[in-house]
Structures are given as structure tokens and as C-alpha cells.
Homo-oligomer: A and B are copies of this chain.
Amino acid sequence: MRLNFLPDQDFAGRLDRDDPLANFHSQFIIAHPGLIYLDGNSLGRLPVGTIKRMQEAVEHEWGHELVRSWGDNWWEAPIRVGEKIASLIGAASGQVVVTDNVSIDLFKLAAASLSLQPEKTKIVTDALNFPSDLYILQGLVRTLGNRHQIVRIGSPDNDITPDLDALAASIDADTALVTLSHVVFKSGYLYDMAAITELAHKGGALVLWDLSHSAGVVPIALDECQVDFAVGCTYKYLNGGPGAPAFLYVRRELQKQSLSPITGWWGQKTPFAFDLEYVPAPGVARFLSGTQPILSLQAMDAGLDSTTMAGIKNIRQKSVLMTEYMIFLYDTYLAPLGFSLGSPRNPDRRGSHVSIRHSEGYHINRSLIEEMNVIPDFREPDNIRFGLVPLYTSFMEIWEAIRRVRAVVEEKRYQKYPSNRQIVT
């Protein structure tokens, strides 16, 4: 595919003209047309339809209907929206709910998985995992009385791809759980879900995938891969809005014996009987705990529609074309300027963002944001991440972003920026 790319600006225009998803950008608010927004892998853009949906949720459902909306619409929302997400991640009905956030959902499912094989003590993960996922495991192990050990493969700063041999070697008869990010947050490496899940199962371990950087942009086949547990985020490629509730998946066969550690009334069999003893709800709903943030949830629901309309297969096709094109431009324009590629070259093993690395990466990122009207983001120690979102990123934006990165380095603009590092989410 890359062989046919040309480095000139006209070629970017040609790719845009040939893009079957080009019209989807009109479903999003593009408030500053000059701004090149390449951080949709952190926070997806605002869908046009969400504005009206939120107005309705606030003014009609809450303001007019008040508590009656619980029965009409709100109480079932975690299930209803969970079903919509299920169809995007290869899950049959009755296995996905929307609730809480990724950290909490990971805590719930990791705890549930460990209690299914209480005699085993090993949790296998890798150093490329999102640190919060590792923190959650650490807190869980402490809470459970330090009976488990966390085996972490690899080194966080240098690895673009994980050491699969080390991963395989670390799974043994004492391994209760293998938990990984499907697409890793720094390099964008995409794990082979089928192969790793099979590997874990062969070793007798259960698997828990974090789909935060793959849901909505990479085809996922949870059922087909026989995945046990999964969690994921909805405010990145699913355009759910800042801090929109996460989702969790529990394979049907495991639901009956799996229990959440956080047993609130939303996961009770008969919540409105107000019995004093917890009895788990029959299905995946037992992993709900307390009352959900309905306004955030409704906004998120509205944001799913464009992904469903476009279709994950088409989205993936454009995503691969975009990351390939960006890497082609990187090779042409940036590699000679002291950059190195922070993402895998094999598109089959890559999600939808491209990391480029530079010793002055932090300052280059600041310059891009402050004076070049480009928004990527930065991840320590030297990664500038460019999130390419098929629903609204254009090939011309990719071309122009690369041109501006080049200008920042050639004109040494990054030298202007102080070295104290700020919060950049």
C-alpha cells in the first residue's frame, strides 16, 4: 500500500477525494477549521447530534419528567447502551454493560477473575500497559492480602512492541490472569487478541483485555476469541465526551460464577425490594454497583451513532491507510531530523495512533500546540502521539501536521519553551 504514496500536498488531496468516509466529518463540531486536532485518541470530538441529545436529557428528561425518567429510560441505560457497544466489539447480547470508569471496572473484573481460581497467585501483564491499569492491580493485590504477585514483562520507555516470548514464558500453571491493553497507549502496538487469549487459556489462565485504545477503531471479536473479561473506554474513538462511563464485558459462560467485589444495588437481583442481603442479578448486570451518571451516559450514547453508521470495517480500512500514510511522510520528512518512529511498522500490529520520538519531544509538542495550531499529545519520556480518527481526520491534516512538525524543528521553535513539564492529558 505504501509503495503508491507520493510526498506532495496534492496527493493528500487525492486521498481525501477518494475517502468513502469523508462525509462523516460533518457529523462532528469542527469549531476551529484551522486547528489540526490529532488527539481524538485522548478525547474524541463532539458529535453534532450530542448537543441536541444533551439538551433533551437535561431539559426534558430531568427538568420536565423528573424522577419519572428513571422508569422510562434511565434505569435501563447501562444495559441498553451496553448492547450498542456489544455490537461494535464482537459480543453477542447480554455480556456488556456501561458503567463507572475503566479503572473501577478493571478492579471489579480482575477481582472476579482471581476469585475464580483462588489457588493461583500470578497475574501477568506488561510494562506497556496503561499505568493506571497497573496501579489498579497493585491496589487489588494489597487489598487481597498480598497473596498474589504481578509479573510485568518488558521495559516501559524503550519497548515499542512487547516481548512475546517473555510473555509466553511467564504464563504457567500458577497464572490466574493475563491482563493487557489491546492497543498500548504509548506506541499504539496492537496485540493479536486471538493468539494471546489462546496462549493464556492453554496455560490455564483467564484473560482480561483493556480495549480503551481499540474500541471503535479496530475490529474486535471478543466472542470469537473466547475472551473472558474486557473493559474499555468510550471517550476516545467512541466520542462519548469527557470522562464518559466505561464498559465492561463478561463472557456468558463465566457470568454465573463471577462476582463483583463492589456489590451495589444496581447489581442486585431485586433492587426495589430493598432486601437486606445481596443477591446477585442473574447476568452481567451484577457488575453494576451504584447510580450511574446519567447525563454523561446519555451524551455517550448519542456519540456512538456515527461509529455504527460508518461500520468498524470501513473505519479500520481508513485508519490503516492513514497511519501508513503518516509513517510514509515521517520517513520522507522527519526521519532525517533526529526523530525515531515510536510505533510498529507492521499495520497489522498497530492501532490508530502514530508516535514519533525526539529528544526534544516535550518542547516540540508544546510548540505545536502553542504556535502551530496542531494538537497532538505527549507521553514521557519522548513520545509525541498523533491520533488519527477515521471519522473526522483528513489526509490533508496529516500532511499539514507533518509539515508543521518539520517547521518546528527546522526553525528551532521548540527552544522557546521552558522545560518545566505541565499536565497534558
**A262 and B104 form a contact (CB under 8 A):** yes
Cα-based distance from A290 to B271 in the complex (angstroms): 26
Chain B residues with Cβ below 8 Å from A74 are 242-243
Could you tell me the distance in whole angstroms from the C-beta of A206 to the nearest C-beta in chain B?
Answer: 17
Given contacts A67-B43, A424-B71, A425-B71, is CB(A290)–CB(B132) below 8 Å? Answer: yes
A282 adjacent to chain B (CB < 8 Å): no
Cα-based distance from A266 to B130 in the complex (angstroms): 13
A328 adjacent to chain B (CB < 8 Å): no
A311 adjacent to chain B (CB < 8 Å): no
Chain B residues with Cβ below 8 Å from A205 are none
A20 adjacent to chain B (CB < 8 Å): no
Residue-wise interface mask of A (364-387) relative to B, using a CB-CB cutoff of 8 A (1 in contact, 0 not) = 000000000001010110000000
**A291 and B29 form a contact (CB under 8 A):** no
**A264 and B103 form a contact (CB under 8 A):** yes
Interface centre among A32, A46, A142, A152 (most CB of B within 10 A): A46
**A264 and B37 form a contact (CB under 8 A):** no
Cα-based distance from A275 to B379 in the complex (angstroms): 11
**B243 and A375 form a contact (CB under 8 A):** no
**A136 and B264 form a contact (CB under 8 A):** yes
Name the contact of A380 in the complex, choosing from B67, B135, B273, B379 (C-beta under 8 A): B273
Residue-wise interface mask of A (120-137) relative to B, using a CB-CB cutoff of 8 A (1 in contact, 0 not) = 000000010011101110
Residues of chain A at interface, number, CB under 8 A: 95
**A43 and B71 form a contact (CB under 8 A):** no
Interface centre among A69, A136, A140, A296 (most CB of B within 10 A): A296
Name the contact of A101 in the complex, choosing from B156, B235, B275, B289 (C-beta under 8 A): B289
Residue-wise interface mask of A (16-55) relative to B, using a CB-CB cutoff of 8 A (1 in contact, 0 not) = 0000000000000101100001010011011000110011
Cα-based distance from A245 to B278 in the complex (angstroms): 23
Cα-based distance from A271 to B424 in the complex (angstroms): 10
Could you tell me the distance in whole angstroms from the C-beta of A92 to the nearest C-beta in chain B?
Answer: 26
**A262 and B51 form a contact (CB under 8 A):** no
**B264 and A135 form a contact (CB under 8 A):** yes
**A290 and B422 form a contact (CB under 8 A):** no
**B152 and A276 form a contact (CB under 8 A):** yes
Could you tell me the distance in whole angstroms from the C-beta of A256 to the nearest C-beta in chain B?
Answer: 16
Cα-based distance from A134 to B293 in the complex (angstroms): 22
- Please report which residues of chain A, range 210-233, place their CB below 8 angstroms from some CB of chain B when the two chains form the complex: 233
Q: Which of A57-65, A196-204, A411-419 contacts B (4 or more CB under 8 A)?
A: A57-65
**A45 and B71 form a contact (CB under 8 A):** no
**A43 and B66 form a contact (CB under 8 A):** yes
**A245 and B293 form a contact (CB under 8 A):** yes
Could you tell me the distance in whole angstroms from the C-beta of A142 to the nearest C-beta in chain B?
Answer: 7
- Please report which residues of chain A, range 333-374, place their CB below 8 angstroms from some CB of chain B when the two chains form the complex: none
Given contacts A66-B39, A142-B259, A274-B380, is CB(A243)–CB(B293) below 8 Å? Answer: yes
Name the contact of A67 in the complex, choosing from B32, B39, B299 (C-beta under 8 A): B39
Chain B residues with Cβ below 8 Å from A292 are 101, 243
**A294 and B135 form a contact (CB under 8 A):** no
Given contacts A58-B50, A64-B32, A71-B424, is CB(A111)–CB(B243) below 8 Å? Answer: no
Cα-based distance from A275 to B59 in the complex (angstroms): 43
Name the contact of A139 in the complex, choosing from B75, B243, B262 (C-beta under 8 A): B262
A2 adjacent to chain B (CB < 8 Å): no
Q: List 17 A-B contacts (CB under 8 A).
A: A29-B59, A42-B67, A62-B241, A71-B422, A100-B100, A101-B291, A104-B290, A107-B262, A107-B289, A132-B290, A139-B262, A139-B263, A145-B145, A243-B297, A272-B421, A272-B423, A274-B380
Task: Please name 4 further chain A to chain B contacts, defined as beta carbons within 8 Å, in addition to the given A51-B59, A51-B63, sorted by A numbering.
Answer: A101-B290, A104-B290, A130-B265, A295-B296
The 4 closest A-B pairs by CB, nearest first: A103-B290, A139-B263, A103-B264, A101-B290
